[in-house]
Amino acid sequence: MRVKESIPGSRRCGWHLRLWIITVLVAAVSACATAPPADRPAVLIDPTSTSPEPDAATPTPPPIPTFTLTASPTITPGPVCSETTGELEHLQLDDTPLAPEPLRFIVYTPPCYQAETDRYYPVLYLIHGQLSTEEQWVHLGVPARMDALTAAGEIPPFLVVMPFDKSSALPDNDPFGLAVINDLIPWIDAHYRTLAIRPYRAIGGLSRGAGWAVHLGLEYWELFGAIGGHSLAVQYGDEARVSGWLDAIPAGSYPRIYLDIGASDGLFSSAAQIEQLLDARGIPHEWHPFQGYHNEAYWSSHVDDYLRWYGEGW
């Protein structure tokens, strides 16, 4: 530290001044030696540790003064999620029975899924028709209608998973079904906040996808609480299997079932046979022979009907 001496006076006064300056300097140095550095970092102490604190010489802070609460506090609510649009994720699993081909799929998550991290959701698996892709249900408007119906309070928010079946083979020769059951469903439950129990999991599809929904929903009935068959194309050979699958389901444990088809659809009689079988056994179900054909115009016009039906179970 530089001290500029500019005080006039006698030599004696100068001596006294020097002595006073030395005294002040000694006091300052002493204070600096005992004061803690201004930039000393905080010490994180493990509350479970039994070792002494790192700096036992640190003085105990004064007690915090107490006060009396004279009025109830006003609690300001946290931010409310205002999202109105869900998100789509395009994903794939490589290690499935479909290998070396991956299992591609799209996941729709409802608005506020990322923000409301303590909320868990039902899941709907929707399968496309033959010669189409996992994008078909997107093109038919499922994400947009999910957003609109959820915002209107007509359905609860839920996830929609749309997998891709590249094959047109019969179930016994198409490992897609096993990939869905053994790989896709466990992966979704492990990576998304799902209500991973039967009542909150549904499977549906259109045309060949409806055939898959009936096949998987009845054969693996323990996994699905609802089955939707839209313009049902029964897989060849499954006509004889449906009775056996229904016999294996304990009374009172049947899934919710919804069947619809256009009155001018060439597959009408095939779908009607499954409906008649359910009716003959007294198994509760919905049967809707709407006006229309086996085409996307028909399916897109009934997307709201489908989503409302799945959602009403949740």
In a domain, 99, yes or no: yes
Q: How much of the chain exceeds pLDDT 70, in percent? A: 75
Q: What is the pLDDT of residue 81?
A: 86
The residue segments making up the domain with residue 286 are 88-312
Angle between helices 142-151 and 303-312 (to 10 degrees): 50
Q: How much of the chain exceeds pLDDT 90, in percent? A: 73
In a domain, 121, yes or no: yes
Average pLDDT over residues 55-69: 40
**Torsions phi, psi for 88 (to 5 deg):** -115, 135
Tell me the DSSP string of 65-97: PP----SPPPPPP-PPP-----EEEEEEESSST
SS3 content of the chain, % helix, strand, coil (to 5): 35, 15, 50
The model's pTM: 0.75
Tell me: pLDDT of 57 over 50: no
Tell me: pLDDT of 65 over 90: no
Q: Give the CATH number for residue 261.
A: 3.40.50.1820
pLDDT per position as a tens digit, 142-194: 999 999 999 999 999 999 999 999 999 999 999 999 999 999 999 999 999 99
pLDDT per position as a tens digit, 264-306: 999 999 999 999 999 999 999 999 999 999 999 999 999 999 9
In a domain, 53, yes or no: no
In a domain, 293, yes or no: yes
* 109 beta partners: 87
In a domain, 25, yes or no: no
Please give the tally of structural domains in the chain: 1
Q: What is the pLDDT of residue 79?
A: 53
pLDDT per position as a tens digit, 213-233: 999 999 999 999 999 999 999
DSSP alpha helix (H) spans, the chain: 11-34, 136-139, 142-151, 176-179, 185-191, 208-219, 238-248, 268-280, 296-301, 303-312
Residue 195 to residue 256: CA distance in whole angstroms:
17
Q: Which tokens is 197 given?
A: 């129990």
Long-range contacts of 299-307 (CB under 8 A, 24+ apart): 299/140, 299/206, 299/230, 299/231, 300/140, 300/141, 302/230, 302/260, 303/140, 303/141, 303/142, 303/145, 304/145, 304/149, 305/260, 306/204, 306/228, 306/230, 306/258, 307/142, 307/145, 307/146, 307/149, 307/155
In a domain, 13, yes or no: no
